């Protein structure tokens, strides 16, 4: 049944040689790797207005110069990550750049930040998409968390089906969203040019505003820069591109940057000219669409595609998280299970872990986008700062031909990214303080995992001077719970291995049961030695493990190894297991941690 459900949800397993067919062309890559960055247009401009409205609606004109600053940062980041793509064509992005140029700890901070960021990408995108849906249908507001979790499960399953298949499905909503916003911006600008929008709705640019300060403007700039999240995803996911991968990735990055700049500028300008104020119940894009078209088909088309891309923007996290995890796992900083490809040739463990972590985050924050975005933005801009700084060090150290313009680009990006990071730390400390605790913990765990792998490697290596252990023979211990075909099957197996050194062990709770069992055993298996143990506290584990320890201690003196052979019957149907006690599982679990004891299970398959 499990296999059938898995095949239905995920599809047939793919052969290893089909991996090349799972690579992405530029059109599909733009859809799934840019969806996060493009979707942030739906909430980035709104974050600027949320800060400015604390002064007054008259301050909304400042959103225009702030947007210019965001575009300057976007340009620096796009040009910088284009350089990273060609300098580090095997992917890894900020983690690889920082580790190579700034040291291991800087790389781990960048890698840890990005792992957390991709989890936040899923949580923020899905929460924002849910907000867009409930803006159009207010009666659904009370079900935000449930809707968000359903979306995460859907996207997780979609990604488990493989990169190509998920890209084929997700490309349509992304391009429909781009089309919808182009229609919205185009019609909005046409209305403005033709006088269809009253100039009285907004404050003229340059109007003095009481209470405005550099601190407020920097805070608004930092909040608006959340629209740049996801820019780094393409540099992490270069291995997903068809050859020549670096060239295709670079072209995709430039296309994404151009689209993001146009859409972000258009939404900021329309929000300013229409005099839109942020509203907890209705998004800024929803208000602009309603002012432009009213609540007709086009309005719902814009809201529908916005909701879709916000939800599907989570797919950027699903594309980049597993590949970043692969780079960290190759360096032995996270478990090696992240290196394993699943049935559909994707890194399934990374996809599943990302989905589970995102659901936990949505539950913790009750799918509130405003609470998640500050954490999300810091998780992005810290790696931005480190990657730009790493590239600065690379150019200064290597000084290749034409390195000065590249150095200037990276320096500009590093300074602006650092400014944004500091502004988030200062202005939203109450919301992001947790990242200052979790990041050191994550880096510490990375080092502990690496240390463990190194210790295991040293102990397993044949180069060590440990002499091989000589084993003269085996003492077979068979725990028995009764006289059945299961026990008989196990005894026959044990006899085939070591007929002369075999002990059956029975644990009795009552003296009378102990005596009756010994008498019946002599008649049933007279040639097998039986040891009965009395348990005063009705425990099987304690007396059995003590007996095993005693036998093992004596056996080791003669270079003998103790093997505990455990009888276990296997029900025909998996759910039948819950109807039986799992004493064999408990015994096996306890004995596995005995250093000089071998544990073996002999299954007996039931027919009904």
Task: Specify the higher pLDDT residue, 108 or 142.
Answer: 108
Residue 468 lies in a domain: no
C-alpha to C-alpha distance for 207 and 212, rounded to whole angstroms: 11
Which CATH number fits the domain that encloses residue 71?
Answer: 1.20.1740.10
Indicate whether 588 pLDDT > 80.
Answer: yes
Nearest to 37 by CA among 256, 333, 327: 256
- DSSP per-residue letters across 482-527: SSSHHHHHHHHHHHHH-TTSEEEEEEESSHHHHHHHHHHHHHH-TT
Judge whether 204 lies within some domain: yes
Specify whether 496 is located in the same domain as 375.
no
Mean pLDDT rounded to a whole number for the chain: 83
User: What's residue 15's pLDDT?
Assistant: 66
Greater model confidence, 432 or 488: 488
Same domain, 496 and 417: no
Across the range 403-411, mean pLDDT stands at: 88
pLDDT band (50, 70, 90) for residue 183: very high
How many whole angstroms separate alpha carbon 379 and alpha carbon 432? 10
Please give the pLDDT value at position 500: 75
Q: Is residue 2 part of a domain?
A: no
Looking at 389, 422, 452, the residue that finishes a domain is 452
Res 100 pLDDT > 80: yes
461 within some domain: no
Please give the share of the chain, as a percent, with pLDDT higher than 70: 92
Determine contact, residues 494/565, Cβ cutoff 8 Å. yes
**Mean of the pLDDT values across residues 284-289?**
86
The verdict on 426 and 496 lying in the same domain is no
* 66-70, 304-308, 343-347: segment of lowest average pLDDT: 343-347
CB 76 within 8 A of CB 406: no
Looking at the structure, tell me whether residues 55 and 115 fall in a common domain.
Answer: yes
DSSP state of 24: B
Instruction: Give, for 475, the enclosing helix (H) or strand (E).
Output: strand 473-480
* pLDDT given for residue 61 in this prediction: 86
Among the listed residues 269, 78, 44, 308, the one whose alpha carbon sits nearest the alpha carbon of residue 176: 308
pLDDT at 590: 87
Q: Provide the residue range defining the domain that includes 573.
A: 473-605
Looking at the fold, whether 430 and 479 belong to one and the same domain comes out as no
H or E, element range at 604: strand 597-605
Taking the CA atoms of residue 503, residue 509, residue 513 and residue 514 in that order, the dihedral angle to the nearest 10 degrees is 40
d(CA 391, CA 407): 8
d(CA 312, CA 168): 13
**Count of structural domains within the chain:** 2
CATH number at residue 489: 3.40.50
pLDDT higher than threshold 60 for residue 265: yes
Residue 17 confidence (pLDDT): 55
Contact 261, 76 (CB under 8 A): no
If asked whether residues 437 and 489 sit together in one domain, one would say: no
Q: CA nearest 237: which of 175, 167, 178?
A: 167
Look at residue 128 and tell me whether its pLDDT is greater than 80: no
Copy the structure tokens of residue 217.
């403007």
- The sheet with strand 529-534 has its strands ordered as 529-534, 502-508, 473-480, 560-570, 597-605
Are 272 and 402 found together in one domain? yes
Run of H or E residues at 181: helix 163-193
Q: How confident is the model at residue 37 (pLDDT cuts 50, 70, 90)?
A: confident
Residue 13 covered by a domain: no
Structural domain includes residue 227: yes
Last-in-domain residue among 390, 421, 452: 452
Asked whether residue 458 is domain-assigned, the answer is no
- Is residue 525 domain-shared with residue 572, that is, in the same domain? yes
Contact call for residues 244 and 69 (beta carbons, < 8 A): no
Mean pLDDT of 357-367: 80
SS3 string, 535-580, reads CCCCCCHHHHHHHHHHHHHHHHHCCEEEEEEEEEEECCCHHHHHHC
Q: Which helix H or strand E contains 355, and what residues bound it? A: helix 348-365
Same domain flag for 339 and 216 = yes
Q: Dump pLDDT digits (tens) for 474-525.
A: 889 999 988 999 999 999 999 888 777 889 999 988 888 889 999 999 999 9
Does the pLDDT value for residue 53 go beyond 70? Answer: yes
DSSP letter at 281? S
Pairing of strands 529-534, 560-570: unpaired
* For residue 256, pLDDT beyond 70: yes
Let me know if 397 is exposed, middle or buried by CB neighbors in 10 A (0-12, 13-18, 19+): exposed
Instruction: Report the run of H or E that residue 600 belongs to, with start and end.
Output: strand 597-605
- Inter-residue contact 315 to 325 (CB < 8 Å): no
pLDDT for 304: 83
Same domain, 375 and 296: yes
pLDDT, tens only, 295-319: 888 888 888 888 788 777 777 788 7
Q: Is the pLDDT of residue 447 over 90?
A: yes
Whether the pLDDT of residue 269 is over 80: the answer is yes
What share of the chain has pLDDT > 90, as a percent? 12
Confidence of residue 164 (pLDDT cuts 50, 70, 90): low
Could you give the C-alpha distances from 287 to 50, 136, 298, 541, 553, in angstroms and in order?
Answer: 14, 10, 13, 67, 78
Q: What b-and-e string marks burial along 53-89, b requiring 16 or more CB atoms within 10 Å of the CB?
A: eebebbbbbbbeebbebbbebbebbbbbbbbbbebbb
Helices (H) and strands (E) in the chain, counts: 22, 5
pLDDT at residue 19 is higher than 60: no
Residue 10 domain-assigned (yes or no): no
328 and 379 assigned to the same domain: yes
Alpha-carbon dihedral sign for residues 254, 260, 266, 268: negative
Which position has the token pair 């600008």? Answer: 189
For the chain, the residue count is 608
Contact 89, 244 (CB under 8 A): no
> Does residue 577 share a domain with residue 547?
yes
């Amino acid at each position: 049944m499990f296999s059938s459900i898995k095949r239905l949800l995920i599809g047939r397993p793919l052969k290893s040689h089909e991996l090349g067919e799972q690579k992405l062309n530029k059109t599909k890559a733009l859809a799934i790797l840019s969806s996060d960055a493009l979707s942030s247009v739906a909430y980035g401009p709104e974050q600027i207005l949320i800060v400015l409205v604390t002064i007054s609606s008259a301050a909304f004109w400042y959103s225009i110069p702030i947007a210019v600053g965001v575009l300057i940062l976007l340009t620096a980041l796009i040009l910088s990550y284009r350089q990273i793509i060609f300098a580090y064509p095997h992917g890894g992005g900020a983690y690889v750049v920082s580790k190579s140029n700034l040291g291991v700890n800087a790389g781990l901070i960048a890698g840890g930040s990005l792992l957390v960021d991709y989890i936040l990408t899923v949580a923020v995108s899905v929460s924002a998409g849910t907000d867009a849906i409930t803006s159009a249908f207010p009666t659904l507001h009370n079900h935000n968390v449930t809707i968000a979790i359903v979306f995460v499960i859907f996207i997780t399953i979609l990604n488990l089906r493989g990169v190509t298949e998920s890209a084929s499905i997700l490309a349509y909503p992304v391009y429909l969203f781009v089309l919808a916003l182009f229609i919205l911006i185009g019609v909005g600008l046409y209305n403005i040019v033709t006088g269809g929008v009253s100039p009285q709705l907004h404050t003229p640019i340059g109007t003095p505003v009481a209470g405005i300060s550099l601190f407020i403007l920097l805070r608004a700039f930092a909040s608006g820069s959340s629209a740049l999240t996801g820019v780094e995803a393409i540099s992490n996911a270069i291995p997903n591109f068809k050859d020549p991968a670096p060239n295709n990735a670079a072209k995709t990055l430039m296309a994404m940057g151009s689209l993001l700049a146009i859409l972000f500028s258009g939404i900021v300008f329309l929000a300013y000219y229409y005099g839109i104020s942020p509203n907890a119940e209705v998004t800024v894009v929803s208000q602009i669409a309603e002012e432009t078209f009213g609540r007709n088909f086009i309005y719902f088309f814009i809201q529908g595609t916005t909701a879709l891309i916000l939800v599907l923007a989570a797919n950027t996290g699903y594309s980049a998280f597993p590949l970043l995890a692969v780079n960290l796992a190759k360096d032995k900083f996270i478990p090696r299970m992240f290196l394993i490809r699943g049935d559909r040739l994707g890194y399934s463990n990374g996809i599943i872990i990302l989905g589970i972590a995102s659901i936990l985050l949505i539950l913790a924050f009750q799918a509130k986008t405003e609470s998640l975005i500050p954490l999300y933005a810091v998780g992005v801009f810290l790696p931005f700062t480190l990657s730009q700084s790493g590239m600065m060090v690379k150019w200064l150290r290597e000084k290749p031909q034409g390195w000065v313009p590249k150095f200037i680009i990276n320096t500009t990006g590093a300074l602006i990214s650092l400014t944004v990071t500091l502004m988030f730390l200062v202005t939203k400390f109450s919301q992001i303080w947790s990242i200052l605790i979790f990041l050191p913990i994550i880096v510490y765990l990375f080092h502990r995992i690496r240390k463990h792998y190194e210790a295991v490697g040293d102990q397993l290596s044949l180069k060590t001077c440990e002499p091989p252990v000589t084993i003269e023979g085996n003492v077979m211990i068979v725990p028995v719970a009764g006289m059945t075909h299961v026990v008989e099957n196990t005894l026959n197996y044990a006899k085939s291995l070591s007929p002369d050194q075999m002990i059956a062990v029975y644990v009795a709770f009552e003296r009378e049961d102990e005596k009756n069992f010994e008498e019946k055993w002599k008649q049933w298996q007279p040639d097998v030695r039986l040891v009965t143990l009395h348990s005063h506290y009705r425990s099987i584990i304690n007396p059995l493990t003590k007996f095993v320890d005693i036998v093992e201690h004596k056996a080791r003196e003669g270079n003998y190894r103790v093997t505990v052979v455990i009888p276990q019957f296997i029900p025909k149907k998996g759910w039948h297991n819950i109807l039986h006690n799992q004493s064999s599982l408990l015994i096996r679990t306890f004995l596995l941690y005995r250093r000089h004891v071998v544990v073996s299970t002999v299954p007996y398959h039931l027919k009904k």
